[in-house]
Structure 1
Amino acid sequence: MTPQTVVFDLGAVLLHWKPIELAMHLLPAHAPNPAAAEQLCERIFQGLHPGATWAEFDRGSVAAEPLAALLSAQSGVEAAELLRFIHAIPDHLHTKGDTAALLPRLQAQGHRLVYLSNMPSPYADRLVAERDFFEHFEDGIFSARVGLVKPEPAIYALAEQQFGLSPAHTVFIDDNAHNIVTARARGWQAVQFLDAAQCERDLTALGWLN
Protein backbone atom coordinates (compact mmCIF):
# COMPACT_ATOMS: atom_id res chain seq x y z
CA MET A 1 0.00 0.00 0.00
CA THR A 2 1.38 3.45 -0.94
CA PRO A 3 2.01 5.58 2.16
CA GLN A 4 -0.25 8.60 2.53
CA THR A 5 2.01 11.42 3.71
CA VAL A 6 1.13 14.84 5.12
CA VAL A 7 3.96 17.37 4.78
CA PHE A 8 3.74 20.29 7.19
CA ASP A 9 5.37 23.67 7.06
CA LEU A 10 6.10 24.97 10.57
CA GLY A 11 6.23 28.78 10.68
CA ALA A 12 2.71 30.33 10.66
CA VAL A 13 1.25 26.79 10.49
CA LEU A 14 2.35 24.98 13.66
CA LEU A 15 4.18 27.98 15.10
CA HIS A 16 2.85 31.49 15.62
CA TRP A 17 4.72 33.83 13.28
CA LYS A 18 3.63 37.45 13.66
CA PRO A 19 6.61 39.58 12.63
CA ILE A 20 4.72 42.89 12.77
CA GLU A 21 3.81 42.34 16.43
CA LEU A 22 7.34 41.15 17.10
CA ALA A 23 8.89 44.25 15.55
CA MET A 24 6.62 46.55 17.58
CA HIS A 25 7.59 44.70 20.76
CA LEU A 26 11.34 44.43 20.16
CA LEU A 27 12.08 47.46 18.00
CA PRO A 28 9.57 50.06 19.23
CA ALA A 29 11.69 53.07 18.23
CA HIS A 30 11.57 51.90 14.61
CA ALA A 31 8.14 50.27 14.68
CA PRO A 32 5.90 52.46 16.88
CA ASN A 33 2.69 51.42 15.12
CA PRO A 34 1.48 48.62 12.82
CA ALA A 35 2.07 50.58 9.60
CA ALA A 36 5.66 51.43 10.52
CA ALA A 37 6.24 47.85 11.70
CA GLU A 38 4.95 46.45 8.42
CA GLN A 39 7.33 48.68 6.46
CA LEU A 40 10.23 47.69 8.70
CA CYS A 41 9.44 43.99 8.31
CA GLU A 42 9.41 44.38 4.55
CA ARG A 43 12.91 45.85 4.70
CA ILE A 44 14.12 43.10 7.05
CA PHE A 45 12.48 40.01 5.55
CA GLN A 46 11.94 41.11 1.93
CA GLY A 47 9.09 38.67 1.51
CA LEU A 48 11.40 35.76 2.44
CA HIS A 49 11.87 34.99 -1.26
CA PRO A 50 15.01 33.09 -2.37
CA GLY A 51 17.82 35.57 -2.74
CA ALA A 52 16.54 37.83 0.04
CA THR A 53 19.08 38.43 2.80
CA TRP A 54 16.96 36.69 5.42
CA ALA A 55 16.38 33.74 3.11
CA GLU A 56 20.13 33.15 3.13
CA PHE A 57 19.91 32.84 6.92
CA ASP A 58 17.22 30.20 6.34
CA ARG A 59 19.53 28.54 3.82
CA GLY A 60 22.37 28.38 6.33
CA SER A 61 24.74 30.46 4.21
CA VAL A 62 24.96 33.38 6.64
CA ALA A 63 25.18 33.40 10.46
CA ALA A 64 23.34 35.71 12.84
CA GLU A 65 26.02 38.39 13.34
CA PRO A 66 26.82 38.99 9.64
CA LEU A 67 23.07 38.80 8.96
CA ALA A 68 22.49 41.66 11.41
CA ALA A 69 25.12 43.76 9.65
CA LEU A 70 23.56 43.10 6.25
CA LEU A 71 20.06 43.83 7.52
CA SER A 72 21.25 47.04 9.13
CA ALA A 73 22.30 48.37 5.75
CA GLN A 74 18.92 47.62 4.20
CA SER A 75 16.70 48.59 7.15
CA GLY A 76 18.41 51.55 8.82
CA VAL A 77 18.35 49.80 12.20
CA GLU A 78 21.56 49.42 14.20
CA ALA A 79 23.16 45.98 13.82
CA ALA A 80 23.21 45.44 17.61
CA GLU A 81 19.44 46.01 17.80
CA LEU A 82 18.86 43.65 14.91
CA LEU A 83 21.03 40.98 16.49
CA ARG A 84 18.88 41.11 19.64
CA PHE A 85 15.82 40.84 17.40
CA ILE A 86 17.27 37.82 15.57
CA HIS A 87 18.18 36.02 18.81
CA ALA A 88 14.77 36.74 20.39
CA ILE A 89 12.65 35.23 17.62
CA PRO A 90 12.62 31.59 18.87
CA ASP A 91 11.06 32.73 22.16
CA HIS A 92 8.12 34.13 20.21
CA LEU A 93 7.50 31.08 18.01
CA HIS A 94 4.79 29.67 20.25
CA THR A 95 3.05 26.45 19.28
CA LYS A 96 -0.35 26.85 17.61
CA GLY A 97 -2.34 24.43 19.70
CA ASP A 98 -5.29 24.20 17.32
CA THR A 99 -3.02 23.10 14.47
CA ALA A 100 -1.04 20.74 16.71
CA ALA A 101 -4.33 19.06 17.62
CA LEU A 102 -4.65 17.92 13.99
CA LEU A 103 -1.45 15.86 14.17
CA PRO A 104 -2.71 12.91 16.27
CA ARG A 105 -5.97 12.89 14.30
CA LEU A 106 -4.09 12.54 11.03
CA GLN A 107 -1.89 9.82 12.52
CA ALA A 108 -4.95 7.97 13.81
CA GLN A 109 -6.12 7.71 10.20
CA GLY A 110 -2.86 6.05 9.24
CA HIS A 111 -1.08 8.99 7.64
CA ARG A 112 2.66 9.57 7.90
CA LEU A 113 3.63 13.05 9.09
CA VAL A 114 6.81 14.86 8.02
CA TYR A 115 7.83 18.52 7.95
CA LEU A 116 9.50 20.76 5.38
CA SER A 117 10.48 24.10 6.87
CA ASN A 118 12.52 27.15 5.96
CA MET A 119 14.35 27.57 9.26
CA PRO A 120 17.84 28.69 10.30
CA SER A 121 19.78 26.12 12.33
CA PRO A 122 19.81 28.01 15.68
CA TYR A 123 16.01 28.17 15.62
CA ALA A 124 15.63 24.58 14.44
CA ASP A 125 17.85 23.29 17.25
CA ARG A 126 15.81 25.15 19.86
CA LEU A 127 12.48 24.06 18.49
CA VAL A 128 13.33 20.37 18.24
CA ALA A 129 14.59 20.40 21.82
CA GLU A 130 11.58 22.24 23.24
CA ARG A 131 8.42 21.42 21.28
CA ASP A 132 6.43 18.28 22.01
CA PHE A 133 4.70 18.21 18.63
CA PHE A 134 7.85 16.86 16.97
CA GLU A 135 7.06 13.46 18.50
CA HIS A 136 4.31 13.10 15.88
CA PHE A 137 6.71 13.47 12.94
CA GLU A 138 8.46 10.53 11.32
CA ASP A 139 11.06 12.75 9.62
CA GLY A 140 11.65 16.31 8.53
CA ILE A 141 13.83 18.76 6.62
CA PHE A 142 15.04 22.14 7.86
CA SER A 143 16.31 24.36 5.05
CA ALA A 144 19.53 25.42 6.77
CA ARG A 145 20.59 21.80 7.24
CA VAL A 146 20.39 21.05 3.51
CA GLY A 147 21.35 24.42 1.97
CA LEU A 148 18.06 24.75 0.08
CA VAL A 149 14.94 26.85 0.63
CA LYS A 150 11.33 26.74 -0.46
CA PRO A 151 10.03 27.40 -3.06
CA GLU A 152 13.11 26.11 -4.91
CA PRO A 153 12.14 22.87 -6.66
CA ALA A 154 15.32 21.16 -5.42
CA ILE A 155 14.14 21.08 -1.82
CA TYR A 156 10.90 19.39 -2.88
CA ALA A 157 12.88 16.85 -4.91
CA LEU A 158 15.02 16.18 -1.84
CA ALA A 159 11.87 15.70 0.26
CA GLU A 160 10.50 13.21 -2.26
CA GLN A 161 13.74 11.23 -2.08
CA GLN A 162 14.31 11.44 1.67
CA PHE A 163 10.72 10.77 2.70
CA GLY A 164 9.99 8.28 -0.08
CA LEU A 165 7.05 10.37 -1.26
CA SER A 166 4.63 9.45 -3.97
CA PRO A 167 3.41 12.90 -5.11
CA ALA A 168 -0.13 11.69 -5.80
CA HIS A 169 -0.31 10.35 -2.25
CA THR A 170 1.12 13.47 -0.61
CA VAL A 171 -0.57 16.58 0.74
CA PHE A 172 1.45 19.68 1.62
CA ILE A 173 0.31 22.31 4.12
CA ASP A 174 1.98 25.73 3.93
CA ASP A 175 0.91 29.34 4.43
CA ASN A 176 3.02 30.71 1.55
CA ALA A 177 1.34 30.78 -1.87
CA HIS A 178 4.65 30.46 -3.76
CA ASN A 179 5.50 27.29 -1.83
CA ILE A 180 2.07 25.86 -2.63
CA VAL A 181 2.52 26.57 -6.35
CA THR A 182 5.80 24.63 -6.48
CA ALA A 183 4.30 21.68 -4.60
CA ARG A 184 1.35 21.48 -6.97
CA ALA A 185 3.66 21.72 -9.98
CA ARG A 186 5.35 18.53 -8.72
CA GLY A 187 2.00 16.74 -8.49
CA TRP A 188 1.49 17.08 -4.74
CA GLN A 189 -1.90 17.89 -3.31
CA ALA A 190 -1.65 21.10 -1.31
CA VAL A 191 -3.56 23.20 1.19
CA GLN A 192 -2.68 26.86 1.65
CA PHE A 193 -2.95 27.42 5.39
CA LEU A 194 -4.96 30.34 6.74
CA ASP A 195 -5.97 28.91 10.11
CA ALA A 196 -6.52 25.51 11.69
CA ALA A 197 -10.27 25.43 11.09
CA GLN A 198 -9.87 26.21 7.37
CA CYS A 199 -7.05 23.65 7.11
CA GLU A 200 -9.23 20.99 8.73
CA ARG A 201 -12.08 21.74 6.30
CA ASP A 202 -9.77 21.55 3.30
CA LEU A 203 -8.17 18.30 4.46
CA THR A 204 -11.63 16.83 5.00
CA ALA A 205 -12.75 17.91 1.53
CA LEU A 206 -9.66 16.25 0.04
CA GLY A 207 -10.37 13.02 1.95
CA TRP A 208 -7.48 13.21 4.40
CA LEU A 209 -9.67 13.64 7.49
CA ASN A 210 -13.12 12.40 8.36
Structure 2
Amino acid sequence: MMKKNIVFDFGGVLFRWHPPSFLARVWPHRAADAEQGREIAAQFFENYGGAWGDFDQGLIDAPTVIERIAARTGWPAAEVAQVVAAVPDELQLQTETVALIEELKRAGHRLFYLSNMPEPFADHLQQSHPLHQWFDDGIFSGRVKQSKPRAEIFRLACQRWDVAPESCVFLDDHPVNIEAARALGWQGLLFSDAAQARRELAALG
Protein backbone atom coordinates (compact mmCIF):
# COMPACT_ATOMS: atom_id res chain seq x y z
CA MET A 1 0.00 0.00 0.00
CA MET A 2 1.42 3.40 -0.99
CA LYS A 3 2.09 5.84 1.83
CA LYS A 4 -1.08 7.79 2.62
CA ASN A 5 -2.57 10.25 5.08
CA ILE A 6 -5.14 8.15 6.93
CA VAL A 7 -7.70 10.04 8.99
CA PHE A 8 -9.75 8.34 11.71
CA ASP A 9 -13.09 9.31 13.15
CA PHE A 10 -13.33 8.46 16.88
CA GLY A 11 -16.88 7.62 18.00
CA GLY A 12 -17.86 4.25 16.54
CA VAL A 13 -14.36 3.76 15.09
CA LEU A 14 -11.61 4.03 17.72
CA PHE A 15 -13.98 4.34 20.66
CA ARG A 16 -17.28 2.61 21.32
CA TRP A 17 -20.25 4.80 20.51
CA HIS A 18 -23.63 3.19 19.98
CA PRO A 19 -26.34 5.49 21.37
CA PRO A 20 -29.22 2.94 21.31
CA SER A 21 -27.44 0.44 23.57
CA PHE A 22 -25.81 3.24 25.56
CA LEU A 23 -29.19 4.74 26.47
CA ALA A 24 -30.62 1.30 27.24
CA ARG A 25 -27.85 0.91 29.83
CA VAL A 26 -28.04 4.44 31.27
CA TRP A 27 -31.81 4.85 31.14
CA PRO A 28 -33.30 1.35 31.57
CA HIS A 29 -36.49 2.95 32.90
CA ARG A 30 -36.96 4.67 29.51
CA ALA A 31 -35.31 2.19 27.14
CA ALA A 32 -35.73 -1.48 27.98
CA ASP A 33 -33.56 -2.55 25.04
CA ALA A 34 -31.56 -1.15 22.14
CA GLU A 35 -34.65 -0.91 19.94
CA GLN A 36 -36.32 1.45 22.39
CA GLY A 37 -32.92 3.07 22.89
CA ARG A 38 -32.84 3.92 19.20
CA GLU A 39 -36.08 5.90 19.51
CA ILE A 40 -34.85 7.72 22.60
CA ALA A 41 -31.48 8.45 20.97
CA ALA A 42 -33.21 10.07 18.01
CA GLN A 43 -34.96 12.45 20.40
CA PHE A 44 -31.92 13.03 22.61
CA PHE A 45 -29.20 13.63 19.99
CA GLU A 46 -31.40 14.88 17.10
CA ASN A 47 -29.02 13.22 14.64
CA TYR A 48 -26.25 15.43 16.12
CA GLY A 49 -28.11 18.59 15.23
CA GLY A 50 -29.90 20.94 17.59
CA ALA A 51 -28.44 21.37 21.05
CA TRP A 52 -26.12 18.38 20.79
CA GLY A 53 -24.78 19.66 17.48
CA ASP A 54 -23.99 22.98 19.15
CA PHE A 55 -22.29 21.08 22.00
CA ASP A 56 -20.23 19.13 19.45
CA GLN A 57 -19.10 22.41 17.89
CA GLY A 58 -18.13 23.97 21.19
CA LEU A 59 -20.81 26.64 20.85
CA ILE A 60 -22.46 25.75 24.19
CA ASP A 61 -21.24 24.08 27.37
CA ALA A 62 -22.51 20.99 29.19
CA PRO A 63 -24.95 22.79 31.53
CA THR A 64 -26.50 24.55 28.52
CA VAL A 65 -26.93 21.38 26.46
CA ILE A 66 -28.58 19.73 29.47
CA GLU A 67 -30.92 22.68 29.94
CA ARG A 68 -31.88 22.81 26.26
CA ILE A 69 -32.52 19.07 25.89
CA ALA A 70 -34.60 19.02 29.07
CA ALA A 71 -36.63 22.04 27.94
CA ARG A 72 -37.28 20.57 24.49
CA THR A 73 -38.19 17.03 25.60
CA GLY A 74 -39.67 17.50 29.05
CA TRP A 75 -37.23 14.98 30.52
CA PRO A 76 -35.95 15.98 33.97
CA ALA A 77 -32.68 17.91 33.77
CA ALA A 78 -31.14 15.54 36.32
CA GLU A 79 -31.79 12.59 34.01
CA VAL A 80 -30.37 14.42 31.00
CA ALA A 81 -27.32 15.29 33.08
CA GLN A 82 -26.96 11.60 33.94
CA VAL A 83 -26.63 10.76 30.24
CA VAL A 84 -24.09 13.52 29.58
CA ALA A 85 -22.03 12.42 32.59
CA ALA A 86 -22.04 8.79 31.37
CA VAL A 87 -20.60 9.54 27.93
CA PRO A 88 -16.90 9.25 28.91
CA ASP A 89 -17.44 5.71 30.23
CA GLU A 90 -19.27 4.81 27.01
CA LEU A 91 -16.23 5.81 24.96
CA GLN A 92 -14.38 2.54 25.54
CA LEU A 93 -11.26 1.93 23.46
CA GLN A 94 -11.70 -0.53 20.59
CA THR A 95 -8.54 -2.63 20.77
CA GLU A 96 -8.94 -4.02 17.24
CA THR A 97 -8.79 -0.47 15.86
CA VAL A 98 -5.71 0.26 17.97
CA ALA A 99 -4.03 -2.76 16.39
CA LEU A 100 -4.90 -1.42 12.93
CA ILE A 101 -3.50 2.00 13.84
CA GLU A 102 -0.26 0.47 15.04
CA GLU A 103 0.05 -1.60 11.83
CA LEU A 104 -0.49 1.46 9.65
CA LYS A 105 1.99 3.49 11.66
CA ARG A 106 4.65 0.78 11.33
CA ALA A 107 4.01 0.74 7.58
CA GLY A 108 4.95 4.44 7.41
CA HIS A 109 1.57 6.07 6.87
CA ARG A 110 0.77 9.42 8.48
CA LEU A 111 -2.19 9.12 10.81
CA PHE A 112 -4.61 11.84 11.89
CA TYR A 113 -8.00 12.08 13.59
CA LEU A 114 -11.05 14.19 12.77
CA SER A 115 -13.70 13.80 15.43
CA ASN A 116 -16.98 15.47 16.31
CA MET A 117 -16.39 15.69 20.04
CA PRO A 118 -17.46 18.24 22.68
CA GLU A 119 -14.53 19.75 24.55
CA PRO A 120 -15.09 17.98 27.91
CA PHE A 121 -15.02 14.57 26.20
CA ALA A 122 -12.03 15.55 24.04
CA ASP A 123 -10.18 16.46 27.24
CA HIS A 124 -11.09 13.09 28.75
CA LEU A 125 -9.84 11.15 25.74
CA GLN A 126 -6.56 13.06 25.58
CA GLN A 127 -5.95 12.51 29.28
CA SER A 128 -6.87 8.81 29.17
CA HIS A 129 -5.16 7.60 25.98
CA PRO A 130 -1.81 8.16 24.21
CA LEU A 131 -3.31 9.94 21.20
CA HIS A 132 0.00 11.71 20.56
CA GLN A 133 1.68 8.33 20.10
CA TRP A 134 -0.92 7.00 17.70
CA PHE A 135 -1.48 10.11 15.59
CA ASP A 136 0.60 12.84 13.97
CA ASP A 137 -2.13 15.36 14.77
CA GLY A 138 -5.89 15.66 15.02
CA ILE A 139 -8.90 17.92 15.24
CA PHE A 140 -11.78 17.86 17.70
CA SER A 141 -14.84 19.76 16.52
CA GLY A 142 -15.43 21.36 19.90
CA ARG A 143 -12.08 23.11 19.75
CA VAL A 144 -12.38 24.55 16.25
CA LYS A 145 -16.09 25.48 16.34
CA GLN A 146 -16.76 23.43 13.19
CA SER A 147 -18.08 19.91 12.77
CA LYS A 148 -18.59 17.19 10.18
CA PRO A 149 -20.18 16.98 7.68
CA ARG A 150 -19.59 20.68 7.03
CA ALA A 151 -16.95 21.31 4.39
CA GLU A 152 -15.12 23.85 6.56
CA ILE A 153 -13.72 21.28 8.97
CA PHE A 154 -12.31 19.15 6.15
CA ARG A 155 -10.68 22.19 4.57
CA LEU A 156 -9.27 23.22 7.94
CA ALA A 157 -7.80 19.74 8.38
CA CYS A 158 -5.97 19.89 5.04
CA GLN A 159 -4.66 23.35 5.82
CA ARG A 160 -3.51 22.49 9.33
CA TRP A 161 -1.84 19.24 8.31
CA ASP A 162 -0.48 20.61 5.03
CA VAL A 163 -1.92 17.74 3.01
CA ALA A 164 -3.76 17.58 -0.31
CA PRO A 165 -7.37 16.31 -0.17
CA GLU A 166 -6.65 13.53 -2.65
CA SER A 167 -3.88 12.20 -0.40
CA CYS A 168 -6.30 11.63 2.51
CA VAL A 169 -8.21 8.44 3.28
CA PHE A 170 -11.01 9.06 5.77
CA LEU A 171 -12.51 6.31 7.96
CA ASP A 172 -15.87 7.19 9.50
CA ASP A 173 -18.96 5.19 10.47
CA HIS A 174 -21.50 7.78 9.22
CA PRO A 175 -22.27 7.75 5.48
CA VAL A 176 -23.03 11.49 5.42
CA ASN A 177 -19.51 12.26 6.64
CA ILE A 178 -17.94 9.97 4.06
CA GLU A 179 -20.00 11.61 1.33
CA ALA A 180 -18.90 15.06 2.50
CA ALA A 181 -15.24 14.04 2.45
CA ARG A 182 -15.51 12.53 -1.02
CA ALA A 183 -17.22 15.65 -2.34
CA LEU A 184 -14.07 17.57 -1.37
CA GLY A 185 -11.70 15.14 -3.08
CA TRP A 186 -10.86 12.88 -0.16
CA GLN A 187 -11.00 9.11 -0.38
CA GLY A 188 -13.54 7.74 2.08
CA LEU A 189 -14.13 4.32 3.61
CA LEU A 190 -17.31 3.66 5.56
CA PHE A 191 -16.14 1.94 8.74
CA SER A 192 -17.89 -1.08 10.20
CA ASP A 193 -15.00 -2.80 11.99
CA ALA A 194 -11.21 -2.92 11.93
CA ALA A 195 -11.00 -6.09 9.83
CA GLN A 196 -13.17 -4.58 7.09
CA ALA A 197 -11.18 -1.33 7.19
CA ARG A 198 -7.90 -3.27 6.91
CA ARG A 199 -9.15 -5.08 3.80
CA GLU A 200 -10.45 -1.95 2.12
CA LEU A 201 -7.30 0.03 2.87
CA ALA A 202 -5.22 -2.76 1.36
CA ALA A 203 -7.44 -2.75 -1.72
CA LEU A 204 -6.64 0.93 -2.34
CA GLY A 205 -3.08 -0.09 -3.22
Q: Same fold (TM over 0.5)?
A: yes
Matched residues in 2 for 1:41 and 1:106: separation?
34
SS at match of 1:144: helix
Partner of 2:126: 128
1:75 aligns with 2:39: no
Matched residues in 1 for 2:72 and 2:3: separation?
45
How many residue pairs align between the two structures? 204
Aligned pairs for 1:144-155 (under 5 A) are 144-155=142-153
Partner of 2:46: 46
Matched residues in 1 for 2:34 and 2:100: separation?
31
Partner of 2:54: 56
The one of 135, 138, 141 aligned to 1:137: 135
Q: Is the 8 A contact 2:6 2:109 kept in 1?
A: yes
> What is the aligned-residue identity percentage?
40
SS at match of 2:188: strand
Output the TM-score relative to the length of structure 1: 0.93
Matched residues in 2 for 1:133 and 1:101: separation?
14
SS at match of 1:16: coil
SS at match of 2:182: helix
Matched residues in 2 for 1:149 and 1:170: separation?
18
Matched residues in 1 for 2:196 and 2:180: separation?
21
Matched residues in 1 for 2:6 and 2:164: separation?
11
CA offsets per residue over residues 151-188 of structure 1, 9 Å max, x none?
00000010010011112211011111111011111111
Output the TM-score relative to the length of structure 2: 0.95
Partner of 1:175: 173
Structure 2: tracts of 5 or more residues without a match = none
Structure 1: tracts of 5 or more residues without a match = none
Between 9-18 and 19-28, report the one with greater CA deviation: 19-28
Matched residues in 2 for 1:36 and 1:107: separation?
40
Matched residues in 2 for 1:165 and 1:184: separation?
15
1:117 aligns with 2:115: yes
| RMSD between superposed Cα atoms in Å | 1.5
SS at match of 2:59: coil
Aligned pairs for 1:82-97 (under 5 A) are 82-97=80-95
Cα shift at 1:52 = 2.3
Matched residues in 2 for 1:4 and 1:35: separation?
39
SS at match of 2:16: coil
CA offsets per residue over residues 175-205 of structure 1, 9 Å max, x none?
1111101111111111010111111111011
Between 57-66 and 141-150, report the one with greater CA deviation: 57-66
Q: Is the 8 A contact 1:3 1:169 kept in 2?
A: no
Cα shift at 1:103 = 0.9
Matched residues in 1 for 2:131 and 2:137: separation?
12
Aligned pairs for 1:96-115 (under 5 A) are 96-115=94-113
SS at match of 1:60: coil
Cα shift at 1:132 = 3.0
Give 4+ residue runs of structure 1 displaced > 4 Å after superposition. Answer: none
